[in-house]
């Protein structure tokens, strides 16, 4: 085996050896910065606790789910795919919730590797190598790869969707099936990824237009039949992926459909205060901010003046390459990347709510590939200048990564959360029904991050639908103003229904949390 590897290696050209070593180093760096001190810096908040609790019930209680996480805007449920993705990893690591986290690290590293492997078809291998390096140390991408959350796989899935869109257009229409599959996955991760549909649709329409232009009738008919066939099968894949949500809506009077309409109207992409020409003008102005966010705020931070200068330089350089240097002829695959990028920018410009980093996670590889191509062409134009700019950008990006402190605890560690859960159980009399709530600055009133660990112990708390039966209530107070605001004065239902607001006990958690215990007579 070793001898065969040596022969294989010696047969490779010096150029291929260079790229193999360079990509391997990039992947190793990506893995290290995504896995270092992972458990002790883990972000395990309400969303993570809720997801882990739901997934644990699937394999412990044989309780399947047909809807996924609820969106932060619009009260719309996503599909359940992410929960079933978590299932084998949590089952392997249970009761520790680290299984899905390590799986997310692997997905993040795989996205970096595939940015090179698939990116070669889109922008050439020089640009793909630079793009993979940019994605490897991209602070926003690193952060998303270090904890379990439904939007976090979006960069990898969108990268495959973009590549398969190009393959479907240029090489074989059967790749539209992969486009449909990846789109079906993306919209179960975050609803903003719906913007990938018009991007793929524009490429599909252009392919249809070209097929209709074929002069030979027999050849034209063959092309059109293939396009229709694979489009129809792709539509079936998409509809099949929606089956759980459709069944849910049939049972709940179209709850999800109504929420979707709400998001797409006054709560999402339109505004009562900005109609017609005003809305268009506002959106055009917003393209500047969205572009800054997609290219530079997730890579080098929020320095608006510098980012604007870099954006103008990037647009000017790409415009020159397209108009003068025939960029699309040399790298036709970049046209598909550009379509996804422009549709994303324009679509997000009409979105009236705040856009957080994880909303645009599906555009991380798009930004990396675009920057990679711009830098590679600069390298080709002036080798020393290209090397200098690429080095400065990666150093600047790495500096911003260190400034975000992804390897340091952002709050309670998993061990501290578990220790608090054990402290609660130790203070529950045998067979006593109890409930737990959390007062903090994140709004996790149900205390899901503690509830998950409590459910791994011998005496779990009562479920939400049976909370009125609880005889004990543990109020875990982590509020920043808890020294001036009494926990028992909270208007939370769980506290209000306890007639006696005088705590029978006060406990202190491992991180100094105040834990007040109320009891019903």
Q: What is the DSSP letter of 338?
A: H
The answer to whether the CB of 201 falls within 8 A of the CB of 209 is: no
Strand-pairing partners, residue 506, are 516
Question: Please, what sign has the CA dihedral across residues 175, 153, 128, 349?
Answer: positive
Give the model's pLDDT for residue 258.
74
The answer to whether the CB of 385 falls within 8 A of the CB of 376 is: no
pLDDT-wise least confident of 81-85, 352-356, 398-402: 352-356
Q: Which domain holds residue 153?
A: 22-33+44-268+276-404
pLDDT at 9 over 70: no
Long-range contacts of 299-303 (CB under 8 A, 24+ apart): 299/134, 299/138, 299/139, 299/140, 299/367, 299/371, 299/397, 299/400, 300/393, 300/396, 300/397, 300/400, 301/139, 301/400, 301/403
Residue 238 located in a structural domain:
yes
Alpha carbon distances (Å) from 245 to 54, 69, 141, 238: 17, 12, 29, 12
| 219 and 286 in a common domain | yes
**Tokens, residue 351:** 């979105």
Residue 17 located in a structural domain:
no
Q: Beta strands 434-439 and 472-477: pairing type?
A: parallel
pTM, two decimal places: 0.93
Torsion of CA 344, 350, 354, 357, to 10 degrees: 0
| Count of the separate structural domains present in the chain | 2
What value does the mean pLDDT take over residues 413-421? 95
Interacting residues of 10 by C-beta distance below 8 A, sequence separation 6+: none
pLDDT at 149 over 80: yes
| 367 and 431 in a common domain | no
| 132 and 214 in a common domain | yes
Nearest-angstrom CA–CA distance, 176 and 352: 31
Nearest-angstrom CA–CA distance, 31 and 146: 10
What value does the mean pLDDT take over residues 75-80? 86
- Of 404, 439, 462, the residue that ends a domain is 404
Residue 6 located in a structural domain:
no
Residue 265 — very low, low, confident or very high, per pLDDT cuts 50/70/90? low
| 199 and 65 in a common domain | yes
The answer to whether the CB of 502 falls within 8 A of the CB of 520 is: no
Q: Where are the beta strands (DSSP E) in 443-486?
A: 472-477
**What three-state secondary structure class fits 505?**
strand
- Of 379, 404, 429, the residue that ends a domain is 404
- Of 383, 404, 425, the residue that ends a domain is 404
Residue 9 located in a structural domain:
no
Residue 70 — very low, low, confident or very high, per pLDDT cuts 50/70/90? confident
| 146 and 244 in a common domain | yes
What value does the mean pLDDT take over residues 24-50? 95
Rg (CA), the chain: 26
| 185 and 54 in a common domain | yes
pLDDT at 223 over 60: yes
pLDDT at 268 over 60: no
Higher pLDDT, 249 or 227: 227
The answer to whether the CB of 251 falls within 8 A of the CB of 243 is: no
pLDDT at 313 over 70: yes
Give the model's pLDDT for residue 125.
95
What value does the mean pLDDT take over residues 83-95? 97
Largest CA distance in the chain: 87
Residue 153 located in a structural domain:
yes
């Amino acid at each position: 085996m070793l001898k065969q590897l040596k022969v294989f290696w010696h047969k490779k050209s010096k150029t291929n050896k260079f790229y193999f070593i360079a990509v391997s180093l990039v992947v190793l760096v990506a893995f290290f910065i995504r896995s270092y001190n992972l458990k002790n810096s883990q972000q395990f908040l309400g969303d993570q606790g809720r997801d882990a609790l739901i997934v644990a019930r699937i394999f412990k209680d044989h309780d399947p789910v047909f809807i996924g996480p609820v969106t932060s805007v619009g009260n719309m449920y996503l599909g359940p795919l992410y929960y079933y993705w978590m299932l084998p990893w949590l089952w392997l690591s249970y009761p520790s919730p680290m299984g899905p986290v390590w799986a997310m690290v692997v997905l993040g590293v795989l996205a970096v590797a595939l940015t090179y492997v698939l990116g070669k078809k889109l922008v050439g291998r020089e640009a793909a190598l630079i793009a993979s390096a940019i994605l490897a140390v991209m602070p926003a991408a690193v952060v998303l790869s270090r904890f379990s959350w439904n939007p976090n796989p979006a960069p990898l899935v969108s990268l495959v969707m973009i590549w398969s869109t190009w393959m479907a257009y240029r090489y074989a229409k059967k790749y539209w099936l992969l486009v449909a599959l990846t789109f079906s996955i993306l919209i179960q991760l975050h609803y903003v990824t719906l913007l990938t549909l018009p991007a793929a649709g524009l490429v599909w329409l252009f392919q249809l237009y070209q097929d209709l232009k074929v002069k030979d009738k027999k050849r034209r008919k063959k092309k059109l039949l293939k396009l229709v066939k694979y489009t129809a099968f792709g539509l079936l894949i998409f509809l099949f992926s929606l089956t759980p949500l459709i069944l849910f809506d049939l049972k709940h009077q179209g709850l999800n459909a109504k929420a979707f309409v709400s998001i797409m109207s006054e709560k999402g992409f339109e505004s009562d205060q900005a109609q017609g020409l005003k809305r268009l003008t506002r959106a055009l102005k917003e393209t500047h901010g969205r572009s800054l966010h997609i290219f530079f705020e997730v890579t080098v931070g929020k320095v608006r003046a510098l980012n604007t200068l870099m954006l103008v330089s990037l647009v000017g350089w790409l415009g020159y390459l397209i108009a003068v240097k025939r960029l699309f002829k040399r790298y036709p695959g970049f046209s598909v990347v550009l379509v996804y990028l422009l549709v994303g920018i324009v679509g997000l410009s009409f979105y009236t709510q705040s856009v957080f980093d994880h909303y645009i996670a599906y555009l991380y590889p798009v930004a990396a590939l675009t920057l990679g191509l711009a830098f590679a062409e600069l390298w080709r134009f002036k080798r020393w200048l290209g090397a200098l700019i690429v080095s400065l950008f990666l150093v600047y990006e790495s500096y911003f990564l260190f400034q975000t402190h992804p390897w340091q605890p952002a709050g309670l560690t998993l061990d501290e959360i578990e220790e608090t859960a054990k402290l609660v159980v130790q203070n529950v009399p045998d067979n006593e029904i109890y409930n737990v709530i959390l007062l903090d600055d994140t709004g996790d009133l149900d205390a899901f991050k503690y509830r998950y660990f409590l459910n791994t112990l011998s005496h779990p708390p009562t479920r939400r639908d049976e909370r009125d039966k609880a005889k004990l209530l543990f109020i875990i107070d982590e509020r920043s103003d808890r020294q001036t605001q009494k926990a028992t004065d909270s208007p939370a239902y769980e506290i209000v229904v306890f007639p006696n607001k005088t705590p029978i006990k006060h406990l202190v958690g491992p991180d100094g949390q105040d834990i007040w215990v109320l009891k019903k007579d």
